Amino acid sequence: MHPEIIDGFMTGIKQVASPYFNDRPDNQLPTLLVIHNISLPPDRYGGPHVEQLFTGQLDPNEHPYFATIAHLEVSSHFFIRRTGELIQFVSCDKRAWHAGVSSYHGRKNCNDFSIGIELEGCDTESFTDVQYQVLAKLTELLFQFYPLTDIVGHSDIAPGRKTDPGPYFDWIRYRTLINFNQEKSMLEQHLPVLQLLNDIESEMRKTSLWQTSAPEPSAFESVEPFCVDRMHAHEWLQWIFLPRMKALIDMRAELPTNFALHPYFEEAFKEQDEHNKLLELIKQLDELSQN
Ligand SMILES: [Zn+2]
């Protein structure tokens, strides 16, 4: 099952309710992702103390450092442990209290419009492989569900006051991982379309619709749908549509959706039974483009 986000909560992960959140002003949607690091006690991993801090249950007597922070009302939307375990504390639709005094491109109070992700770690040690994997997956999911445009570190929005995620956070690795996964999933989405485009080409070759030389250059200047005034339907298919779709697939770009080629081709090939197979393929392509 692919994870989803429902009412701001990611499915399939551990949820721990933090009392430290409120509504986003005007219920605005988050546009910024903020990466942090945290470990409690500092530089120690694996304990329950981060969860305790974010839920107001940290015992100030358990460690001298805790006495200095136990009174803080802080939270984060997500926390990724060294083991890759992912915990959510606050709905992404709500305002978690992770950034404090902060500003981004002149906009103050980044909590209003951001999602906070804490990585279990510190400023003096590398993060784990699985943390990068989980962070990249989480990032992709959040980008699917929210109009996020930027990713920053806490130190970028609270310079001088905050240093996390610190010099050991590998931004290049993180961004490379996101791009790689995006390209891969785009290719997976495109494969059925590419298969159909190839089937259409081979069917056109079989039925001798495939041309070896292009129409006159002036035909390409048509501004009509399907270049209907200057090309035959199959010419448009071979010289305009197929190359454009393949170029988009090569670039891993978004493909056009909800197009309808079949009605036009059905009319163009009417009473030509030898093109039924081609019409069927075109219909399948139309169907694939519906979303
Ligand atoms: Zn931070």
Q: What are residue 144's phi and psi, to 5 degrees?
A: -70, -35
Say how many Å lie between the CA of residue 164 and the centre of ligand 1.
Answer: 5
Question: Residue 219 to residues 227, 230, 231, 238: CA-CA distances in angstroms?
Answer: 7, 5, 6, 13
pLDDT at residue 180 greater than cutoff 80: no
Point out which residues pair with 36 in neighbouring strands: 118
User: Which of residues 180 and 253 earns the better pLDDT score?
Assistant: 253
Of 40, 110, 111, nearest in space to 79 by CA: 40
Report percent pLDDT > 70 for the chain: 100
Say how many Å lie between the CA of residue 36 and the centre of ligand 1.
Answer: 4
Triad 129, 75, 70: Cα angle to 5°: 110
Q: Return the axis-axis angle of helices 129-145 and 171-206, rounded to nearest 10°.
A: 60
Say how many Å lie between the CA of residue 144 and the centre of ligand 1.
Answer: 24
pLDDT in tens, 3-56: 999 999 999 999 999 999 999 999 899 999 999 999 999 999 999 999 999 999
- pLDDT score at 184: 74
Of 102, 96, 108, 100, nearest in space to 157 by CA: 102
Which one of the listed residues 62, 73, 118, 203 is annotated catalytic? 118
pLDDT in tens, 165-177: 999 999 999 999 9
Average pLDDT taken over every residue of the chain: 95
Say how many Å lie between the CA of residue 35 and the centre of ligand 1.
Answer: 7
Helix (H, G, I), strand (E, B) or coil at 7: coil
Rounded mean pLDDT of 258-270?
A: 95
**Beta strands at 86-88 and 94-96: parallel, antiparallel or unpaired:** unpaired
Say how many Å lie between the CA of residue 264 and the centre of ligand 1.
Answer: 57
- pLDDT score at 1: 66
User: Which of residues 23 and 252 earns the better pLDDT score?
Assistant: 23
Query: Of 83-92, 144-153, 251-260, which one has max mean pLDDT?
Result: 83-92
Helix (H, G, I), strand (E, B) or coil at 21: strand
pLDDT at residue 59 greater than cutoff 90: yes
Instruction: Respond yes or no: is residue 125 known to be catalytic.
Output: no
Name all domains of the chain by residue range, CATH numbers in brackets.
Answer: 5-169 (3.40.80.10), 187-289 (1.20.1440.40)
pLDDT in tens, 117-133: 999 999 999 999 999 99
